[in-house]
Amino acid sequence: MLHLSETFIGLCSNVKLPFLFTYFIKVNFQRVQSSNNRPSKSLKSQFEGKTSFGMSVFNLSNAIMGSGILGLAFAMSNTGIILFITLLVFIAIVSAYSIHLLLRSAGVVGIRAYEQLGMRAFGPPGKLLAACVITVHNIGGYLGYTSGFSLTCMVFFLISVIYKKFNISCPLDDPHHNITPIVDMHTVENGTFCEAKLFTMNSQTAYTIPILAFAFVCHPEVLPIYTELRNATKKRMQNVANISILAMFIMYLLTALFGYLTFFGAVESELLHTYSRVDPLDVLILCVRLAVLVAVTLTVPVVLFPIRRALLQIFFPDQPFHWARHVIIAFSLIFVVNLLVIFVPTIRDIFGLIGATSAPSLIFILPGIFYVRIVPKEQEPLLSRPKIQAACFAALGFLFMVMSLSFIITDWVTGESRSGGGH
């Protein structure tokens, strides 16, 4: 029976089924083998990864690429080009360093699941914390069109944004479309509406780092992809992460830059909605929306997988699989998400809140504290430079979370935000 299971796992990997599906099979096979009291082998000898380096880059890029790309032009309009690029570089670098901490921690204990790292570091509370953060972040991904856009659709989206830059004139002088609610009246009065700003700050600048952090979160998917990687080593997986982050950095920068240079101060928190205000019947933008819709429909099961797994870890940790519970959780999540989509005013609030809570937890805080707790003192003393760096990294994430939430809540209370557009 075990040989048949191993053969099936090999076939799944060779035909390039979705990596989360094969990872799910492997995790459950490992549980079955443990329950049968068979001699345990190392993770590498049990489950030899079959995914090539290029496909792993594609998988991780797909995990990074998400709805956060729709808010990047809005973020640039509230920071200026230079400050935005500086912050984008910063978030990309810390994301790569965060993945380094995760891989180092996973290598020490041989664990390839985010929640299990929490279990190893802090016991059940750590597992619960990691599961809750993953759940919140992925629900935020659902609200923002889901976090699993296909790269093909996003390349089409980027090409359309670049093309539209040269087709839409500024200012938007169509009398049939009122852009006043989304334009800073001060810039209109001074005739600077169509001038690109290199550096600016206002009440909306508080949303910039949360939007960028939201756009780069891929950390729960790093370890499953690591498991599937052929000839997996920490260095090889780090190279996968670095290339994926660099590719998404370029795509994010181009999208933000051309989106901002098209609408300047009139850009909304959801870029596609801004195009619709110019021409609701634009064929190209309607095609982009259709591509996004198809991507969302096909990727809901992929996004649902980590949420449901996290909820099962929280509420039913030792229960056997049951179809009724499986289906009820799925329908409940979709129902709750649809209610939130209806009642949340703008997608900017989703990017801001999720980006200021779950994103810093997944990028900064959890990898840092996991590293400090998991790596043995015999290998690295508590006061060694790597552990001090990891602790400071986690503290930076906590500081960023508190500051971002404070600014965002202040903006909500004072009601100074401009209209961000619907979603």
3-state secondary structure of 249: helix
pLDDT at 27 over 80: no
- Does 109 score more than 90 pLDDT? no
d(CA 267, CA 276): 11
The whole-angstrom separation of Cα 114 and Cα 223 is: 7
pLDDT at 150 (0 to 100): 62
Cis-peptide, bond into residue 320, ω within 30° of zero:
no
pLDDT at 35: 40
Report, as an integer, the average pLDDT of 377-403: 93
Average pLDDT rounded to a whole number, residues 165-177 = 67
Section 72-89 average pLDDT: 94
The number of C-alpha atoms within 13 Å of 284 and in the hemisphere containing its C-beta is 15
Judge whether residue 4 has pLDDT over 50.
no
Residue 92 has a pLDDT of 96
Q: Global pTM? A: 0.78
- The predicted pLDDT at position 363 comes to 92
- Is residue 301 classed as helix, strand or coil in its secondary structure? helix
Find the range with the poorest average confidence among 17-21, 111-115, 230-234, 262-266.
17-21
Percent of the chain with pLDDT over 70: 76
R_g of the chain, CA atoms, integer Å: 22
Q: What pLDDT, on the 0 to 100 scale, is given for residue 137? A: 77
In this model, does residue 184 exceed pLDDT 80?
A: no
CA 212 to chain centre: 9
CA 409/CA 345 separation, integer angstroms: 15
Instruction: Locate 35 and state its tokens.
Output: 């329950």
pLDDT at 141: 57
pLDDT above 90 coverage of the chain, percent: 27
pLDDT at res. 242: 96
Do 372 and 316 touch, CB atoms closer than 8 A?
Answer: no
Assign 64 a pLDDT band (cuts: 50, 70, 90): confident
- Taking all residues of the chain, what is their mean pLDDT, rounded to a whole number? 78
DSSP secondary structure of 99-126: HHHHHHHHHHHT---HHHHHHHHHSHHH
CA-nearest of 68, 178, 105, 18 to 370 is 105
SS3 for 51?
Answer: strand
Spell out the domains of the chain, with CATH numbers in brackets. Answer: 48-414 (1.20.1740.10)
